[in-house]
Amino acid sequence: MVNWKKSLKAKTPEEGYRLAIALAQESIKQIQPNEKIREKIRPKYSTNANTVIAASKVIATHFQTVAAANDYWLYHKHGHRSSVRLNM
Amino acid sequence: MVNWKKSLKAKTPEEGYRLAIALAQESIKQIQPNEKIREKIRPKYSTNANTVIAASKVIATHFQTVAAANDYWLYHKHGHRSSVRLNM
Amino acid sequence: MVNWKKSLKAKTPEEGYRLAIALAQESIKQIQPNEKIREKIRPKYSTNANTVIAASKVIATHFQTVAAANDYWLYHKHGHRSSVRLNM
Amino acid sequence: MVNWKKSLKAKTPEEGYRLAIALAQESIKQIQPNEKIREKIRPKYSTNANTVIAASKVIATHFQTVAAANDYWLYHKHGHRSSVRLNM
Amino acid sequence: MVNWKKSLKAKTPEEGYRLAIALAQESIKQIQPNEKIREKIRPKYSTNANTVIAASKVIATHFQTVAAANDYWLYHKHGHRSSVRLNM
Amino acid sequence: MVNWKKSLKAKTPEEGYRLAIALAQESIKQIQPNEKIREKIRPKYSTNANTVIAASKVIATHFQTVAAANDYWLYHKHGHRSSVRLNM
């Protein structure tokens, strides 16, 4: 499900968020390669509060990684940070 | 619920905190797109101590991301850090 | 409970720790706005070992954010880091 | 399972993700060196939703480490960051 | 239990580790100020494998904070990093 | 079990990983100093899938700290980063 492009680049936080979800799903796929079993356990993901929250925690961790990879979307198109760190 | 603006910018920690909550809610929406089922599992979010704490952990993780994206609200309006890192 | 000042600044680690606790409590308030229900689930927070530890994990995560926001209290009053990073 | 090369370098996010999975598996091997017992507990990894998600959380944490070790794959082949941090 | 000195400084990783444990204990004290109840729930901390591991996770998070606050003990006594970051 | 050397330095990721495991074990020792009780709860560490995964999560967190302390093993022997961050 992850489109393994060469980078973790995402144009917007929304795109980054989708990538985080895909990264979370990827590990489930890797741990349980059998699609039929995955389909069988999926209902639990989406109907049990604790499981949903645990899954959303994994997404939050991946979103942290993706956000860092994109410098938190702070840069302008030209590759400069919008706020200057050092004035020398 | 997340207003997918182009950035993760928040003017204040309070605004950032609200964004963190919205980011947490977003993943629940993505995992369980069916609103009726979401409404059914929601009571558990808010009445079970362990579930509330687990949810608040997800918010804490997103708040970490949002706080980093806003340089922890250390900058003045003019885009300079209030404390100088390097004097050269 | 969080005094939403304009920043996450805390003068000392102790003050920062209190802010971390307040940030953790804030999310519980947001998830369960009904004070009566909060009061009802509170005993579980404080008498069940696993729940206490889960709550302390949320505090630890927020303390990480607050500590980073305050540059880990490494700076002197005058805004300089006590240890020099670069000698140029 | 981890190929303990001298670094955590991975050429692409995909390779980095595989390394993260290997790092997660490594600790299971270290905690439970007996292969027979590992094989016995493995089914639980892959068929129980909560366990799968917990395992995917460990992978997400290691992926964070590997991504940081590779500067989030932001560099060009020549070792320069694609976006300039400082213009002096 | 935390000696709220003015900083999170620790001379060695060992001292830092002790501080991390103290920070974890502090939150338990804050969540459950009643010492008698704390004493009652303490046995669970130390005899149940899952609870011990959950507690050790909190310590690991605080150790991360303390280690960062001490620049991972990379500096020499004179306040210089042992490895040079920039040669200009 | 942790050899409290003066630093968190590890020559290789493999050595760093071992240190991460030692750091995780250290907290278990601190929480439960009684060796007999530790021996009694140890089987649960290694035979229950959820407990093994929870323990591996603690290791992953410590590995993050150790990896950061070693600049992710990016430096050459001479203390320079293999990729240049700034060209001035």
Six-digit token string for E69? 């606050």
Q: What does the pLDDT read at residue C5?
A: 67
B32–A46 C-beta distance less than 8 A:
yes
Q: Is the pLDDT of residue D65 over 90?
A: yes
Within 10 A of C46 (CB to CB), how many other CB atoms are there?
19
Q: What does the pLDDT read at residue C1?
A: 59
Chain centroid to Cα F16, Å, comes to: 6
Closest of F6, F5, F59 to residue F28, by C-alpha: F59
Closest of C67, D7, E23 to residue B72, by C-alpha: C67
Six-digit token string for B81? 């850090």
Query: In sequence order, what are the residues at sequence separation of 6 or more whose Cβ sits closer than 8 angstroms to the Cβ of residue E2?
Result: C14, C17, E19, E22, E23, E25, E26
Touching pair B, C by Cβ (3+ pairs < 8 Å): yes
Q: What is the share, in percent, of chain B residues with pLDDT greater than 70? A: 81
Chains with ≥3 CB–CB distances under 8 Å to B:
A, C
Q: Which residue of E has its CA nearest to C73?
A: E7
End-to-end CA distance of chain D: 45
**Which residues of A fall within a CB distance of 8 Å from D66?**
none
Q: What does the pLDDT read at residue C6?
A: 66
pLDDT of chain E, 88 residues: tens digit per residue: 577 766 899 999 999 999 999 999 999 999 989 999 999 888 877 888 999 999 999 999 999 999 999 999 987 444 444 333 332 2
Q: What does the pLDDT read at residue A71?
A: 94
Rounded distance between C-alpha atoms, residue F1 and residue E77, angstroms: 26
**Average pLDDT in chain A:** 83
Q: Is D48 on the interface with F (CB under 8 A)?
A: yes
Q: Is the pLDDT of residue C64 over 50?
A: yes
How is residue D71 annotated by DSSP? G
Q: Whole-prediction pTM value?
A: 0.87
Q: Which residue of B has its CA nearest to A20?
A: B27
Cα Rg of chain B (Å, integer): 17
C6–B12 C-beta distance less than 8 A:
yes
Banded pLDDT at F8 (limits 50, 70, 90)? very high
Six-digit token string for F43? 């089987």
Mean pLDDT along residues B26-50: 89
D54–F53 C-beta distance less than 8 A:
yes
